[in-house]
Structure formats: structure tokens, C-alpha cells
Chain A
Amino acid sequence: MHEMGLALQIVEIAKASLPPELAGARIQRVNLKVGKMAAVVPESLRFCFAAITRNTPMEGAELFMQEVAVVARCGACGHEWTLDGPAFRCPACDSGDVRMLSGRELDIVSIEVEKD
């Protein structure tokens, strides 16, 4: 629901990440990591990103989202596993002492710019 706000942040961070010597270079692609449990709808984020970059130097830039699986670790027996659904109980020992190791990411990994 807040994808427009996220898209604005992504554009801000992308622009701020251009080193001074590349100021003015066109950003072609933004690479993101998006956890499966992050409250983000990829289509909606892409739509917002396209809308706010229209008629700017970033128009047409690609938003690439690499999905990150939900991996959890049991605090009782140390078992680590990848969840295929929202069930946070250890499949090895049935403990409920479970910590999420990944799956909530919403990170900008890199930007790609056009080389002159």
C-alpha cells in the first residue's frame, strides 16, 4: 500500500549513490533484494517507480527485484530451514523458539549506470 513512498525512497537513494565523477550519468537499472515477507507488491512498486521517473533522467530505468526466501533458525536445536509458508515452528524439534534469518529484506543492492 505504501509502494509510492518506497519508490520515492528508491529514486532518492539511487540518485544519492552516484559517485561525484558520474554525476549526471543515466541510471539504467536499480537492483533490489526483496524478502518474501516484506510487505511489497512487485508489480505495484514497478508501476510507482515508472510513474515517478517519467520525464526525468531515470525514465525507463529497470527495477530488478531479487526475491529472498524466508529462512528461520530454531533457538532450541539450531535447525535452519527455508519456510514455504508462514509456519514458524521448528520441523525438527517442534519448538516455537524460532528466529527469522531472512525474508524481510527491502534493500538496494546496486545501481547500474550507462557508460560514456
Chain B
Amino acid sequence: MEIKVVRKVLDVNDTMAARNRELFSSKKVFVLNMMSSPGSGKTTTLEKTLALLAPALRCAVIVGDVCTTNDADRLARTGVPVVQVNTDAFGGDCHLAAHVIEKAAMDLDLDQTELLIVENVGNLVCPAEFDIGEDARVVVLSVTEGEDKPLKYPLMFRVCDAALLNKTDLLPHLDYDKAAVLANIRQIHPQMPIFEISAHSGDGLAPWVDWLKEQVGRKLR
């Protein structure tokens, strides 16, 4: 005999994410979920972005990794409150789930936070599936990765609101088809803004930071 169920497998996560979203909205906190493959330069991008945003904008960071507190140690030097989550304790998870964000957020003073940036676990697959209660999602892709990455991981590029093409300072040394990667991103998400940046040199960061400020301003106004 068949019994109707009709429930999302990720129901528990989605419910928790909705709760997070409510909490962040009531505290007037804008949450950015930052995703990428490992080694794309998320942490450096975040360091440079925070330097341009703080202290004018009160920021905080939750950083996820399977192991080590290296990223949190680097980010703490920016003077911004940082909470490190090691998913190892949760079974070496490939992504940050909503309940992990809820717990990590308890270690932050949300009343003193306007922008919470979540640096997700380096992975272009799973984090795209897990809502954490964020307001916007950004994917970082570097020019040392293949031009076809957007086509290989379409969901990630589809669910994000902006893309950062990082490490552009390396372009003169690479056999890289930048036009191809831009076309591939636009094929998956034609209307998504793409910012070409070098977190290393700081080139191109201003338009990205302006975009982010505008998004934050729209929620907090």
C-alpha cells in the first residue's frame, strides 16, 4: 500500500534556513554566502573586501573548513569578528548547513553586525544545494581553473547572484581564454553580474565592493 508523503528531503535544512533568515532580518543583518572551489582565493578576496568595507560597515565572518583554523587566523587580522566552523566535527561535511550557521551565529554579536559573510567550504557542488538563510550568494572562480567550470557545475553558477573572476593578475602568464569563461558563465546565468578582480593586487575590487554595499544598503535601509 502506498502512503503519500510529499516532503523535501532537505526539509529540515530549509526550515532551519528560514529560521536563520528570520533571525538575521530581525537583527538587520545582511548575509552573504561566499562559495568556490578550493584554492580560488576566497580568503584573500575576503581579506581585501573587508579592508574596503570595515569599519564603515560593521562586518563579521563565519568561515567553514573541513579542518584547521588557518583561514580564521588570517581573517582575524582584519580586526573583524570571525567564527571558524570545522565541519570535521559534523562528519567532514562538504558544505555548511543551516544548523551550523545558526550555532556559529550565536558566537557573534548580531546587534553589532550589519554584514555577515559566510565563507563556505571550498566545493562547487554541495554548498549550492544548502540554503543557510543568506540574502545573496557569490561564487569565486579563478583564472587558474578551467574555462569550462561553469558548465561542469551549472547549479552553483545558476543559484548565485554575482560571480567574481579572480587572479586576473596571472592572465599574462596563462594560456587562458577569458572570453570563453565569461561566455560560459553567461550561458548558465545571463543576467548575473561578473566582476573581474585580482584579490592579490587589488585590481577591480571597487566595482564588486560597490555592488555588495548596494545590496546591503537595500536590506538595511
Residues in chain A within 8 A of chain B (CB atoms): 1-2, 4-6, 9-10, 13-14, 17-19, 22, 31-32, 37-39, 86-89, 95-98, 100, 104, 106-113, 115
Residues in chain B within 8 A of chain A (CB atoms): 1-12, 91, 93-95, 123, 125-126, 128-129, 151, 154-155, 158, 186-191
The distance from the CB of B96 to the nearest CB of chain A, in whole angstroms, is 11
Contacts of A96 in B (CB 8 A): 186, 189-191
The listed residue (B1, B190, B191) touching A112 by CB distance below 8 A is B1
Asked whether A2 and B93 contact (CB < 8 A) given A9-B12, A108-B5, the answer is yes
Contacts of B4 in A (CB 8 A): 109-110
Interface of B is mostly: mixed
B13's nearest neighbour on chain A, judged by CB, is: A9
The listed residue (B3, B95, B125, B154) touching A19 by CB distance below 8 A is B3
The distance from the CB of B109 to the nearest CB of chain A, in whole angstroms, is 31
The listed residue (B2, B9, B91, B154) touching A10 by CB distance below 8 A is B9
Q: Is the CB of B2 within 8 A of A110?
A: yes
- A-B CB pair tally, cutoff 8 Å: 96
Contacts of A113 in B (CB 8 A): 1, 3
B10's nearest neighbour on chain A, judged by CB, is: A106
B186's nearest neighbour on chain A, judged by CB, is: A96
Could you give 19 example pairs across A and B, Cβ below 8 Å?
A: A2-B129, A5-B91, A5-B93, A6-B9, A6-B10, A9-B11, A13-B5, A31-B2, A39-B126, A86-B154, A86-B187, A104-B155, A106-B129, A107-B8, A108-B9, A110-B3, A111-B2, A112-B3, A113-B1
